[in-house]
Structure 1
Amino acid sequence: MGKQYDVVIVGSGPNGLSAGIVLAAKGLQVLIIEGAETVGGGTRTSELTLPGYYHDVCSAVHPMGYLSPYFKTLPLEEFGLEWIIPKASAAHPLDNQEAVLLSKSISETAHNLGIDAEKYQKIVTPFVDQAEDLLSDSLKPLGIPSNPLLLMQFGLKALQPATFYSKHAFEGERAKALFAGCAAHSVLPFDKFFTTAIGLMFLVTGHVENWAIPKGGSQNIANALAAYFKSLGGELKPSTKITDYKQLPDAKKYMFDTDPIQLAHIAKDQLPPSYQARLNKYQFGPGVFKIDYALDAPIPWKDPRCLDASTVHVGGTFAEVAASEKDAWEGRECQRPFVMLSQQSQFDTSRAPEGKHTGWAYCHVPNGSNKDMTQAIESQIERFAPGFKDTILAKRTMTTQDFYQYNPNYLGGAITGGAADIFQLFTRPVARIDPYSTPNPDIYICSASSPPGGGVHGMCGYHAAQSVLKSLKIR
């Protein structure tokens, strides 16, 4: 007879690892099973192009990871995690004018915005001043907020579609473009409710601290979490793909850091058909097409200040970004896509050989799209950085299918745990009083398909683990 565990967790992404840490810290016997050879899920780093060039396979820049209310309580620095803070969070280049820069200084950012400088400061300052409460209340399931008035003030703006909010909040194109780049992280068309929430939240995080990157690559977030988990007595079992519940060792409780469809498949004999049907109806939203670059030199931006930002939002005006996101949602590949680009080697020399650089760029595409977007992405970068193509030494592309093969949580190339529209923002994966529970009292979900959703912050795993502790009657 095999070992009896208190909890077995399937999947070692940041949420699975966070859940494991919460439970192991309570003295429980916890096993995390991972299908791949290494832990990490969406936080892995690899030499994808040439030897010595270290690319983040999925997530690259981590404002929510650095500011995570849970990660802040963990001694991850003692386990090898080192954060690098760039000079600016995001740059948004525009045609025939200076780029807009989002940096920690509200006044410096506002100074970029011309006619909207004063309005912008009035909008973000109250939320930045109380960012700790705002993040804590936003990164948890529905319940009683710690600061109800603040959350109500934020919610009145956050509820609005980004197109409506931008039209009424700002006059000039510069502020609208900056907001559009941040709102596009929602992976939703801008006429959807709550797209303003994502835009405002990314602006606020950029003023709390410039968007951080982990030294050496995103893999080091996972490595630090895993090392801390093991220091608490937790066990890790990599290279073990779970496709059937019968493969799991004996345990009191099981947690799944997987998407809802995998959960429905693996636990098909343990969950009622009606609940499985609801899991199988889960909406994932657009996928992504990504390119990793080995570069001979820094990207030659027309505005060299773009090199100060860990992230560059490449897409032009608000209207252009909005059109790109709408196309992806409605099943079309945009010919001038909005591109999210990261240049980690500007701040972390360990990512590339001396004098060389890495580039990381992706755009949103229809779920399951098999179209090669290389030319469209590079044309957009060349638009604001003429001569970029001449710096390319090697590149590697990833289609939506490549992402799915890399991580089966990314169905159709959707990397954020599923669409966060009004129908799934608060009821992911299905509507339940305890969203982490299932009709089977021994089975829980803790992935980005549960509240509060996508991002490397570990909060889905943290809150799911609280639910498990409650069921085990452990305070």
Structure 2
Amino acid sequence: MTLLDAVVVGSGPNGLAAAVTLARAGLGVQVLEAEPTVGGGARTVAIPELADGMLFDLCSAVHPMAWASPFFRAFDLPAHGVELIAPDIAYAQPLDGDRAGLAYRDLARTADGLGVDGDAWCDLLGPLASDWRQVTALAMGDKRTPRGMLDGLGGPGEHALTASNLGSMVRPGLRFGAALLEQGGPRWDRRFLTDEAKALLTGVAAHNITPLPSLAGAGTALLLAALAHADGGWAIPLGGSQAITNAMVRDLEAHGGEVRTGRRVESWSDLPPARAVLFDTTPSTLLRIAGDRIRPSRRAALGRFRYGNAAAKVDFVLDGPVPWRVPDVGRASTVHVGGTRAEMVIAEDTVAHGLHADRPVVLVSDPGVADVSRLRGSTRPLWAYAHVPAGSTEDVTEPVTRQIERFAPGFRDVVVGSRCIPAAGLERHNQNYPGGDISAGAATMWQMVARPTLAPDPYQIAEGVYLCSASTPPGPGVHGMGGWHAARRALLREFDVRHAPGLAAG
């Protein structure tokens, strides 16, 4: 049997980023995917029982990192034929009483809408939006080395490790750190006076599915909220998330790599011989397949990796747009439905205690707002996640419908079909979501740094064995950086390739 240079297990964004990097270095690469379709958390599929000819994003739907991630900036998705569309209103937070917080791409317009909190919003997020490259580099680094931080400034491998380059990170880093401490701790309520501003930022922090306030939630909120006011906004790929995946697969194949679907790997014997194996999987899957190749102390540390609470997914088919009480909410392709900051704190705390919230935090994506190709006549898809306890088997269609109806009276009347995937069922579509944990590991501040362990190298697990999933730094999201960081280490240690290949199209 032919010895491959590298095998990648899993075809999510990180696995494909690793495969693309290795193939561009001239290596023979094969990607093995258990599911019949490629993409992991970036797949767009048909659901014939809901609507003929309509496409639904199975997991992720909105992608600020598709333009801001250092990997994707270097890869350049538009040059690979992916059109990224950002609506004027990145995200919205409806409230009772005909009110809503609206995060426009235009920072000044957002501030105008927040009234007395406008200056405070600009003071917090304006500098971070201006320094989005440095802020993103800090967030997307390997959480271990200065080199891993600098790789985020322009694109992987573009910046030398110099005092000047490191110095350029100091002021944005200090500013981000101060904002993190403020918004992640007991002082988080002191900056804003209005429900709109408080809820608008909290809705983004709630993406982490953790009790609030938290440092991890604040980090997510500050990064994503800043990107909403930066160059590319909260982008929707034309045609759905699959467009990102397909562009990466095309590039991989153009450089001699291949993807094989329907190839579930249950043990090491299921792998073709290769000099390096990179796992775009959770640590538990890695241990099941390659545990006997990992030294006992590292096995034990990986076994202590914690998984978090979950999301349950509801796909709707609507006959017309959502009838939001505040019409401008309907101009945002992302809506955080959870009410006030206080209500969201209660809901997330309830989930953290293993219970279902009466009024759960719900993330809603309406891709047709930005991408009219997703519409089918008067009908359109609507994507919704509700936060629930890990392993929940509950059908959340009714509580999700109730929450949306609360801010969009008449929503039930435009629903012509729906399908729920309970949290426990998400793992059947993507093994990296154990119990419905869409972050592939609890998104606490500790685990965002010590991910998957505190080892100096979070990616190389054993000789020739690497972990490259969202369970490694920088964590969850469609950004490709976990795969790129892991591939770079594999190139150096297994193949003595000291300079990472360029990623630009052409």
Category of TM-score, reference length = shorter chain: over 0.9
Match of 1:123 in 2: 124
- TM-superposed CA distance for 1:88, in Å, is 1.1
Contact 2:390 2:424 in 1 (8 A): no
Aligned to 2:478: 456
Partner of 1:416: 439
2:173 and 2:60 map into 1 onto residues whose CA distance is 28
Decide whether the 8 Å contact of 1:56 with 1:217 is kept in 2.
yes
Question: Which one of 363, 366, 382 corresponds to residue 359 of structure 1?
Answer: 382
Matched position secondary structure for 2:417: strand
Q: Is the 8 A contact 2:129 2:226 kept in 1?
A: yes
User: SS where residue 460 of structure 2 aligns?
Assistant: coil
Which residue does the alignment assign to 2:370?
347
* Letter of the structure 2 residue corresponding to residue 120 of structure 1: W
TM-score by length of 1: 0.97
The alignment status of 1:73 with 2:74, answered yes or no, reads yes
> What is the DSSP-based 3-state SS (H/G/I as helix, E as strand, rest coil) of the residue aligned with 1:336?
coil
**Structure 2 contact 98–325 (Cα < 8 Å) conserved:** no
Report the Cα distance in structure 2 between the residues aligned to 1:200 and 1:393, rounded to whole angstroms: 37
> 1:102 matched to which residue of 2?
103
1:153 corresponds to which of 169, 172, 175? 175
TM-aligned CA deviation for residue 272 of structure 1 = 2.5
Per-residue deviation, residues 222-259 of structure 1 (Å, max 9, x unmatched): 11111111111112111100010111111111100000
* 1:33 and 1:236 in contact (8 A); partners too: yes
Q: CA separation in 2, counterparts of 1:381 and 1:179?
A: 19
Deviation, 1:75, is 4.3
1:45 alignment partner AA: T
Partner secondary structure for residue 93 of structure 1 = strand
1:92 corresponds in structure 2 to 93
Match of 1:286 among 296, 301, 309: 309
Pairing 1:7-156 to 2, within 5 Å after superposition: 7-48=6-47, 49-142=50-143, 143-144=145-146, 145=149, 146=166, 147-156=169-178
In percent, how many aligned pairs have the same letter? 38
- 1:421-457, Cα deviation, whole Å (9 max, x unpaired): 122111111111111011x221000000000000001
For residue 179 of structure 1, what is the aligned residue in structure 2? 201
For normalisation by structure 2, the TM-score amounts to 0.91
SS in 1 for 2:91: strand
- 1:298 aligned onto 2:321: yes
SS at structure 2 position matched to 1:65: helix
Q: Which residue of the other structure, out of 273, 280, 304, is the alignment partner of 2:296?
A: 273
Gaps of 5+ in 1: none
SS of equivalent to 1:176: helix
8 A contact 1:54–1:352 mirrored in 2: no
Secondary structure at the residue paired with 2:34?
Answer: coil
| Counterparts of 2:95 and 2:233, CA distance in 1 | 21
Structure-2 separation of matches of 1:192 and 1:43: 27
Partner of 1:205: 227
Match of 2:426?
A: 403
Distance in 2 (CA, whole Å) between partners of 1:458 and 1:287 is 22
By how many angstroms is 1:61 displaced? 0.6
State the secondary structure of the residue aligned to 2:62: coil
Q: Show CA shifts across 1:308-329 (max 9, x none).
A: 1110111110001111111112
Report Cα offsets for 1:68-103 as digits up to 9, x if no partner.
111111143344322122121101111113311111
1:334 aligned residue: 357
Q: Give the equivalent residue in structure 1 for 2:157.
A: none
Q: Is the 8 A contact 1:158 1:195 kept in 2?
A: no
* Cα distance in 1 for residues equivalent to 2:296 and 2:100: 53
Instruction: For 1:436 and 1:330, locate their aligned partners in 2 and report how far apart those are by CA, in whole Å.
Output: 32
Deviates more, 1:20-29 or 1:186-195: 186-195
Verify the 8 A CA contact 1:255 1:443 in the aligned structure 2. Answer: yes
What letter is aligned with 2:189? K
- SS of 2:358's partner is coil
Question: Is this contact kept in 1: 2:281–2:432, CA < 8 A?
Answer: yes
Pairwise CA distance, 1:211:
0.7
Specify whether residues 77 and 15 from structure 1 end up closer, same or farther in structure 2 by C-alpha distance, changes over 3 A only.
Answer: same
The alignment's C-alpha RMSD in Å is 1.4
Q: Counterpart of 1:325 in structure 2: which amino acid?
A: E
Q: Give distance in 1, aligned partners of 2:172 and 2:39.
A: 34
Matches of 2:222 and 2:488, distance apart in 1: 28
User: Aligned partner of 2:415: which letter?
Assistant: I
**Deviations 1:198-224 (CA, angstroms, capped at 9, x unpaired):** 111111010013311111111111111
Q: 1:289, 1:362 within 8 Å by CA — same for their partners in 2?
A: yes
> How far apart, in 1, do the equivalents of 2:488 and 2:171 lie?
26
AA aligned to 1:172 is: T
Give, in whole Å, the separation in 2 of the partners of 1:169 and 1:281: 37
- CA change 1:281–1:27 in 2 (3 A) is same
Superposed CA deviations along residues 284-313 of structure 1, whole A, max 9, x for unmatched, are 111111110111110000011111111011
Contact 1:160–1:193 (CA under 8 A) maintained in structure 2: no
Q: Deviations over 1:379-410 (max 9, x none)?
A: 11001000000101111101112101111111
> How much does 1:162 deviate?
3.6
Q: Report the CA distance between 1:165 and its aligned residue.
A: 4.0
Whether the 8 Å CA contact 1:339–1:377 is kept in 2: the answer is: yes
Please tell me the residue identity of whatever aligns with 1:47: A
Letter in 1 for 2:136: L
Correspondence 1:218 to 2:241: yes
Q: Which runs of 5+ in 2 are unaligned?
A: 150-165, 499-506
Q: 1:357 Cα shift?
A: 1.3
The question of 1:372 aligning with 2:399 is answered no
In the comparison of the two structures, how many residue pairs are matched?
Answer: 473
